[in-house]
Homo-oligomer: A and B are copies of this chain.
Amino acid sequence: VIPLSTEEIHEELSKLDGWSFENMTLVKQYEFGDFAQAMGFINKLAKVAERMNHHPEWTNSYNKVLLKLSTHSAGGVTQKDIAMAQSAEQAAKAHST
């Protein structure tokens, strides 16, 4: 797996809402209505992660989830991370009031 170029990453991010590219990682902070919604989002995305065999780093505090996506084995952001970001957007919509 080879990482995307910075140009390719910014091209992909232009199609996504609220994501940034920091330290070779895609980052987004999600904020939900409450803890239950945040956990719903987390569990939806956990299923995607298992299916893709690609796991995010995430931090949860009550209704907030900070998501960090990168592909360690490639040393950067790959198409897998873009696909995971797209899945996260869908999952967040499904779990927001």
The reply on A61 being an interface residue by CB < 8 A is yes
Which of B46, B57, B59 meets A39, CB within 8 Å?
Answer: B46
**What residues of chain B lie closer than 8 Å to A55, measured between beta carbons?**
35, 61-62
Mark contacts of A21-62 with chain B using CB atoms, 8 A cut-off: 1 yes-contact digit, 0 otherwise. 000000000000001100100110010011000011111111
The copy count of this chain in the complex is: 2
Which of B43, B46, B50, B59 meets A58, CB within 8 Å?
Answer: B59
CB within 8 Å for A43 and B49 given contacts A57-B61, A58-B60, A60-B58: no
Q: Is the CB of B49 within 8 A of A35?
A: yes
Alpha-carbon gap, A38 to B61, bound state (A): 17
Per CB-CB distance, the 3 closest pairs between chain A and chain B, nearest first, are A57-B61, A59-B59, A55-B62
